Structure 1
């Protein structure tokens, strides 16, 4: 039910979202550096990368430009259609992060770039377990999230659908329970025009 409502919400704003965020990485040097480090680690390990919650595909395309065999997955049919039109040389599929149509250990990397922010805390362990299932041992997960200061995740207002801020330690613990070890983390303060702090966890599949 949550996934259905989120999918419909993003279907409704897909063209505007694609327009607003088409060049977002140009103004985010820290994120570009993180993605470059993620790409280097995955290239050293080998295997394709799934951009889970890819939206209109701009970050999928960026990873591809860094030399990764990358494809995108998104709940929103409208987002997938936009991604396919914008990047016809890349693969984009409709799908759920809790039930990826992939074999166990099929991937060298998973990018979840703020795609878990609408997942209620009680449901997030299922997504973490699915990320671990599709990653080969030693593969990498880069997860972007809304970084909060509370000791527990907190629901917050979001322009598209309800979202959740997570304290870094609590989210890292959840990923460790799913079978990951932490490689590194970063928290960035909100930029002008942003409402939330951004957090990033780089994890390795045990």
Structure 2
């Protein structure tokens, strides 16, 4: 890092933005296997927040890899950098007074912990989107599991690369057992009970 970089304080604080928006700002970090329903639940819930007049934005793994992280592969080092970058972007949204929903496989506990450490206590909510490999493989909307089984995709999480389930997520949403809307409802209830929304 250059020694010629100096932090510039913002003229509007996070607290002022929160007051203006009428709600807290935090990260909802959706983690789970490919095809577990992370993006579907995140987008369904973001729509609820939008309809309720709350400032929220979804950062989706595939979408971010089209731009910001288009230079990264899927080896372990690239995956770690992918999560590091998105963690820093998510932190900016929190500073901007928004609710940011991030839908990333983020297979390593250590990387998710790094993102948690970027923000204040209570500003990172780990949402484990639970779904077995078997169920995800049956869904396989992008045909990725089939390609992984045919050795066309190396380092595929759940098949040829590990996924480390959260040990103590703030909330677990089981998309094998419940529909996308039911999971969004469970998340809304949890956040309301905890005073986030």
TM-score using structure 1 length: 0.36
- Choose between structure 1 and 2: higher helix proportion: 2
- Choose between structure 1 and 2: higher strand proportion: 1
Return the structure number with greater relative CO, CA threshold 8 A, min gap 6.
Answer: 2
